[in-house]
Amino acid sequence: MPKEVVRARWGVILLFWLNGVAWSSILPRYPEIKAALEASNTAFGIAVGLGPVGGLIAGLFTARLVRRFSSATVATTTLLLGILTLNAVANAPTLALFAASLATMAAMDAITDISMNAHGLRVQKLYGRTILNSFHGWWSIGAVCGGILGSAAAQVDMPLWLQAVLAAVVFGGMAVFARTLLLPGKDQAPVDEEAAAELRPQRRIPASLWLRLIALGLLGASVGLVEESAASWGAIYMDGMFEVMPFVAGLAFVALQGAQMIGRFTGDALVNRIGARPAVTLGVSVAALGMGLAVAFPHPASTIVGFACAGWGIATGIPSAMHAADELPGMAHGSGLTFVTWLMRLGFFAGPPLIGIVGDTVSLRWALIVVPITALIALALTPALTPPRNARPTVL
């Protein structure tokens, strides 16, 4: 493999790692932020849920930005801006400013997410085999690192402002370096001349293709809601439900991301062996069972194990949905990926307020029943992963 392709792969790995570590480093501090803002479960859930609205809006423009400036430039620029926004999230004096800061960070994250996946797919095509799940595995490693760093900072009582400043300096510098590793030039869909006419984007997308795109997006949204449940509520649930120290409270999120990391690094081999749909079907079934048992038998250990089952179970869901959307025929380059990734953010938008409202109405314990139910919804949507007959040839 040419050196520049190998170097670009490491550049994409660094983007995914930074995207995971920066965002997740603040999550274990959510109990402190919630207490400082004197917010109820419902109010805090709505504030966190409003954050992805910024992502939903910004995601609409990503495909055009990528085609104009390249996925490498867009990904690194918005990643850097998102890292800097951590300072506003950590130091927001009111709930409204906290929600606005999250919305800004989510907007940057949405553009980063789509563009770094686009660059990852570009590198994957040059490799000639599936490596996308491993990129998402590095995101999970970053999320685990961020969760541990945030939990350790909470344990030693590090001021939130200092943690955010250190993250901006260290992670921001690494984002600038990542740009030097990525592939040069603008993104183009690599197709041979014989297939070009057949794969040329259609002016009118058939209804069947729209249905498949929506199903893939909702599959990703369901998986995203499961993932977001640990991010937004894992530490708060552990802190409020059980008598545990701050570091242990952050382990619900770390367990989900750690298991998801394992699932993603083994996911490429699993998908290549049995196919995307069987792999995702198996995974979301495990997620539903594990979280169902965690709700039925509440204990710090069972909760951590339940979130770990959820993490392993959803590991291949989002990468598989992204890959399926990117391979659909008759779509402008990047449009299928952008649409599905945009729709996925509905899960990040709906999850926190839904759990918060149920938590205030009943209890946070029973609010978590939303997680296994959502995993079952994802299970019902897995048929969308079966490629249509005229799909583009894959690299599997």
Extents of the domains making up the chain: 3-181+205-385
**What are the pLDDT digits (tens) for 63-84?**
788 888 889 999 999 999 999 9
Tokens 């995993």 belong to residue: 375
Q: Give the separation between CA 42 and CA 129, rounded to whole angstroms.
A: 45
Three-state secondary structure of the chain: CCHHHHHHHHHHHHHHHHHHHHHHCCHHHHHHHHHHCCCCHHHHHHHHHHHHHHHHHHHHHHHHHHHHHCHHHHHHHHHHHHHHHHHHHHHCCCHHHHHHHHHHHHHHHHHHHHHHHHHHHHHHHHHCCCCHHHHHHHHHHHHHHHHHHHHHHHHCCCCHHHHHHHHHHHHHHHHHHHHCCCCCCCCCCCCCHHHHHHHCCCCCCCHHHHHHHHHHHHHHHHHHHHHHHHHHHHHHHHHHHCCCCHHHHCHHHHHHHHHHHHHHHCHHHHHHHHCHHHHHHHHHHHHHHHHHHHHHCCCHHHHHHHHHHHHHHCCCHHHHHHHHHHCCCCCCCCHHHHHHHHHHHHHHHHHHHHHHHHHHHCCHHHHCCHHHHHHHHHHHHHHHHCCCCCCCCCCC
Residue 200 confidence (pLDDT): 43
Q: Is the pTM of this model over 0.85?
A: no
Q: Which two tokens stand for residue 250?
A: 């952050």
CATH of domain 3-181+205-385: 1.20.1250.20
**What are the pLDDT digits (tens) for 248-304?**
887 888 888 889 889 888 887 888 888 889 999 999 999 999 999 988 898 889 999
User: pLDDT in tens for each of the 396 residues of the chain?
Assistant: 789 999 999 999 999 999 999 988 988 888 889 889 988 888 888 888 777 777 778 877 887 888 888 899 999 999 999 999 999 998 899 999 999 998 899 889 889 988 998 899 889 888 887 787 788 889 888 988 998 898 899 888 999 999 999 999 999 999 999 999 999 887 765 444 333 434 344 456 667 778 888 889 889 888 888 888 877 778 888 887 888 887 888 788 888 888 988 988 888 788 888 888 999 999 999 999 999 998 889 888 999 999 999 999 998 888 888 888 877 776 666 677 778 877 777 767 777 778 888 888 888 788 888 889 999 999 999 998 887 665 544 433
Residue 334 confidence (pLDDT): 63
Residue 396 confidence (pLDDT): 35
Tokens 């419902």 belong to residue: 42
Residue 31 confidence (pLDDT): 84
